[in-house]
Structure 1
């Protein structure tokens, strides 16, 4: 392969103009001998807005065992306080209508925040998959390049051996 067009056609089975932006970027990085991998966490964190970081934090806390056990303890204390301790002057007597209101409001706020965080996680997964594809593509190109270099070296050595055999056979016949 003498030029880029031949290389692209041979390895990608398409012309240079048909390459995607990712393939062009990978080819350029491979040609420049530069790395293509990046820290996905740092790249996404740098572009995250305050709301996105807040949603991730709330989802991280809301989906933890610490939150679940703490909230379970809060519910037990609420129920015990309103049935046994404050039997005559309970501020939320059984069937705990105020507690139901609080739990409904919490769920109404927490659910969309967790969904925002899940959407960000899906975006992160797509970004990570794209980066993995780029790194894998560059690795394949580098392996192909190494194969080509080794093949050229072997061909050069075979040609040198043929010349040497020719010289040796001429000496033997003369």
Structure 2
């Protein structure tokens, strides 16, 4: 039997060497969220304002030999553009991660609501069946009313039995017999 040439399917491939750097996407995402959270604070705005005022103040008021960015402040513009070009994708990445978390939370809420609705419907059916079953059960008030009717029947029977025989037979006593 001739051996097959080519890769064997029962043997795992040897790991290939990757020229790109490897990173943990979750660690990168957490770091980007921290940066985005900081960029959205008043503290960042205050520090950025202080740095820009110091930068402009230094390059306007310092002696000519000490200035590193002359009047049109091209280097400052470059630094702010670089900061913005990194901040925008980091903020978008943080928003995407938040959207993913929100989506998972909404899905969990939806499942929880479905379970609550199913539980409520089950309890509603159980209560309805109990009410129907209670309709056939003798209640205390019903038993009392039945007993009261029996007592009245017994009293009327007892009073009937105590009457003279002529009255019971439907004859009225004659005035002469009195």
Structure 1-normalised TM-score? 0.63
Question: Which ranges of structure 2 fall in alignment gaps of 5 or more residues?
Answer: 1-24, 155-178
State which of 144, 149, 168 in structure 1 corresponds to 2:121.
144
Q: How many residues align?
A: 125
State which of 30, 34, 38 in structure 2 corresponds to 1:57.
34
Aligned to 1:129: 106
Aligned to 2:50: 73
- In the alignment, the residues of structure 2 paired with residue 106 and residue 52 of structure 1 have an alpha-carbon distance, to the nearest angstrom, of 18
- SS of structure 1 residue aligned to 2:57: helix
- In the alignment, the residues of structure 2 paired with residue 114 and residue 86 of structure 1 have an alpha-carbon distance, to the nearest angstrom, of 39
Aligned to 1:116: 93
Question: Which ranges of structure 1 fall in alignment gaps of 5 or more residues?
Answer: 1-47
Q: Which has the larger radius of gyration?
A: 2
State which of 61, 69, 94 in structure 2 corresponds to 1:92.
69
1:105 matched to 2:105? The reply is: no
State which of 122, 131, 134 in structure 2 corresponds to 1:157.
134
Q: Which has the higher contact order (CA 8 A, sep 6+)?
A: 1
- SS of structure 2 residue aligned to 1:160: coil
Name the Cα RMSD after superposition: 2.5
- In the alignment, the residues of structure 2 paired with residue 142 and residue 61 of structure 1 have an alpha-carbon distance, to the nearest angstrom, of 44
1:165 positional shift: 5.9
